[in-house]
């Protein structure tokens, strides 16, 4: 372990971290393991948006919908159930309890590591000093040699679609509804929109997704996106791609929307709620970046490969830094920033090796290049596919949707990307991440013994399919 950086002058902390999301608390814990004296400033519950209003409570709600979907018709499994209904109030209560437990776990880890937690709003006030204002209005100045900004992001708004917390809402309001609405329009077919649309459709709402791009989950492989769309439409979700909300009118009991669709007639839709899920932008306002001289670009803080900002001693990680806006990316950047602070030479983060996951059912997970992106880069590719319908484990579980798709470089044999769609397919992404990172070939995967019966065998079968296609 390297020696901690000595505190500058009489600064009581080697490092101050602003924000306690996955990036912030991981940075604080990593620095503490290096023997550094660390403080963390958070204005809300520990764990940030991910733990309290994003990743964790969302997955808890999705699990409730999945259980409900299973018990509605369990007869084929030899189970008789009558009078099954969905209690969204109880589902929300459970999700809030899951979030609370996770937040408390973050607090426990920070206390155990000796990290001092300060509650309040932090503003840069010159160099690496910050001004912390507590909820009661009291303020204090905290000095540290280094500063990590992990302030996260917040939802973007479009003109005319500004959330009002009443009928036009964000995912935060959607996470705590007391009743299942009869209908909902979801604007945005990215991860948040897809997950919320699936949850409310399974809970009993009539859901319409409006996505401006030609397909759901635009960054993902087109073949996977097509499978997801067909699954959603089979579940009764209306999917409008190449579409935008031209006008929305808000009333006491709901909203009406005029939807323009490329190459088709406009549609008129009415719903109880309109959920805006069009992405997020960095939380850079009100923290003193401009006065401190920290450069920003298009809503995010500008950094180098080691997360250094334009001001010596100040680093930025996670959503506020831009790039892929994912919790696990923030955690990886936390390690990079701390290693840079202690004088190491951390390996830069390669976004090609960051997994992307969407937790509806079927779930979607991917890493590396899609087939389209690989071909566009000038490579000749070899594709391997295998359907979960051929898996004994998938058949035993009654979950046959989806596939594994692997992309290999035909010239070198190295794996370029992996794409999954199926029930809990997200749990298989780790193997594909290793295969991409270490440039494994299809033969390497095939020669790796996979336990039977498991869904992971489908990965092996996809690799074998790629070998067969090579002739």
pTM above the 0.85 mark? yes
Structure-block tokens of residue 425: 């397919």
pLDDT value, residue 279: 85
Res. 18: pLDDT tops 90: yes
CA 108 to each of CA 73, 117, 195, 446: distance values in angstroms, whole numbers, following the listed order: 41, 11, 30, 43
Res. 283: pLDDT tops 90: yes
| 349 within 8 A of 327, measured Cβ to Cβ | no
Question: What confidence tier does 382 reach under pLDDT thresholds 50, 70, 90?
Answer: very high
pLDDT tens digit sequence for 385-404: 999 999 999 999 999 999 99
Q: How far apart are CA 186 and CA 149, in angstroms?
A: 32
pLDDT value, residue 10: 53
pLDDT value, residue 215: 96
Percentage, residues of the chain above pLDDT 90: 92
pLDDT value, residue 8: 39
pLDDT tens digit sequence for 206-249: 999 999 999 999 999 999 999 999 999 999 999 999 999 999 99
Spatial CB neighbours of 230, under 8 Å, sequence gap ≥ 6: none
Backbone φ and ψ for 415, nearest 5 degrees, come out as -75, 130
Considering the candidates 268, 328, 423, 452, report the single residue annotated as catalytic.
452
Three-state DSSP class for residue 346? coil
DSSP 117-179: EEESEEEE-STT-EEEE-TTS-EEEE-EEEEEE---EEE---TT----SSSEE-HHHHTT-SS
Structure-block tokens of residue 211: 């996505």
**H or E element that contains 240:** strand 238-241
Backbone φ and ψ for 122, nearest 5 degrees, come out as -110, 135
Q: How far apart are CA 275 and CA 252, in angstroms?
A: 16
| 148 within 8 A of 18, measured Cβ to Cβ | yes
Average pLDDT over residues 293-318: 97
Q: Which residues of 193-210 are buried (b: 16+ CB within 10 A; e: fewer)?
A: bbbbbbbbbbbebbbbbb
Domains parsed from the chain with CATH numbers: 13-155+281-351 (3.50.50.60), 168-278 (3.50.50.60), 362-469 (3.30.390.30)
Spatial CB neighbours of 45, under 8 Å, sequence gap ≥ 6: 51, 52, 103
| 427 within 8 A of 359, measured Cβ to Cβ | no
Res. 424: pLDDT tops 50: yes
pLDDT tens digit sequence for 29-80: 999 999 999 999 999 999 999 999 999 999 999 999 999 999 998 999 999 9
Res. 185: pLDDT tops 90: yes
Give which of 214, 206, 194 is closest to 264, Cα–Cα.
Answer: 214
Q: Could you confirm whether 34 is annotated as catalytic?
A: no
Res. 5: pLDDT tops 80: no
Average pLDDT over residues 315-325: 96
pLDDT value, residue 469: 84
pLDDT value, residue 390: 97
| 130 within 8 A of 16, measured Cβ to Cβ | yes
Q: How far apart are CA 22 and CA 324, in angstroms?
A: 14
């Amino acid at each position: 372990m390297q020696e901690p950086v000595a505190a500058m002058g009489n600064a009581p902390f080697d490092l101050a971290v602003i924000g306690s999301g996955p990036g912030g608390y991981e940075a604080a814990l990593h620095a503490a393991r290096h023997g550094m004296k660390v403080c963390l400033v958070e204005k809300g519950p520990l764990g940030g948006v991910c733990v309290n209003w994003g990743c964790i409570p969302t997955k808890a709600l999705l699990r409730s919908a999945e259980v409900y979907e299973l018990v509605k018709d369990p007869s084929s499994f030899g189970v008789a159930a009558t009078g099954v209904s969905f209690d969204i109030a109880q589902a929300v209560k459970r999700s809030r309890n899951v979030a609370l437990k996770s937040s408390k776990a973050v607090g426990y880890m920070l206390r155990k590591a000796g990290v001092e937690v300060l509650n309040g709003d932090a503003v840069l006030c010159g160099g690496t000093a910050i001004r912390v204002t507590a909820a009661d209005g009291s303020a204090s100045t905290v000095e540290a040699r280094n500063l990590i900004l992990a302030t996260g992001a917040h939802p973007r708004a479009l003109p005319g679609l500004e959330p009002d917390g009443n009928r036009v809402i964000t995912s935060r309001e959607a996470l705590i509804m007391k009743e299942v609405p009869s209908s909902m329009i979801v604007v945005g077919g990215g991860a948040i929109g897809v997950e919320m649309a699936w949850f409310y459709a399974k809970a009993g709402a009539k859901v319409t997704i409006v996505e401006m791009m030609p397909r759901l989950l635009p960054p993902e492989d087109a073949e996977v996106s097509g499978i997801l769309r067909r699954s959603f439409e089979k579940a009764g979700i209306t999917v409008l791609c190449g579409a935008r909300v031209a006008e929305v009118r808000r009333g006491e009991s709901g909203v009406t929307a005029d939807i323009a669709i490329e190459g088709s007639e406009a549609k008129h839709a009415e719903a109880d709620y309109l959920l805006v899920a069009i992405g997020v932008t960095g939380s850079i306002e009100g923290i003193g970046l401009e006065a401190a001289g920290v450069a920003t670009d298009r809503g995010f803080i500008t950094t180098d490969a080691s997360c250094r900002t334009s001001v010596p001693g100040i680093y930025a990680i996670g959503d506020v830094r831009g790039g892929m806006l994912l919790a696990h990316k923030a955690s990886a950047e936390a390690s990079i920033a701390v290693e840079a602070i202690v004088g190491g030479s951390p390996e830069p983060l390669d976004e090609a090796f960051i997994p992307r996951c969407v937790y509806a059912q079927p779930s979607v997970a991917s890493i590396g290049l899609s087939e389209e992106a690989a071909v566009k880069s000038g490579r000749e590719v070899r594709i391997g596919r295998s359907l979960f319908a051929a898996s004994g484990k998938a058949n035993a579980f009654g979950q046959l949707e989806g596939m594994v798709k692997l992309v290999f470089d035909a010239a070198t044999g190295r794996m370029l990307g992996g794409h999954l769609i199926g029930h809990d397919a997200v749990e298989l992404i780790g193997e594909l991440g290793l295969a991409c990172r270490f440039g494994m070939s299809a033969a390497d995967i095939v020669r790796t013994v996979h336990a039977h019966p498991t869904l992971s065998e489908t990965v092996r079968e996809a690799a074998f399919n790629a070998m067969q296609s090579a002739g």
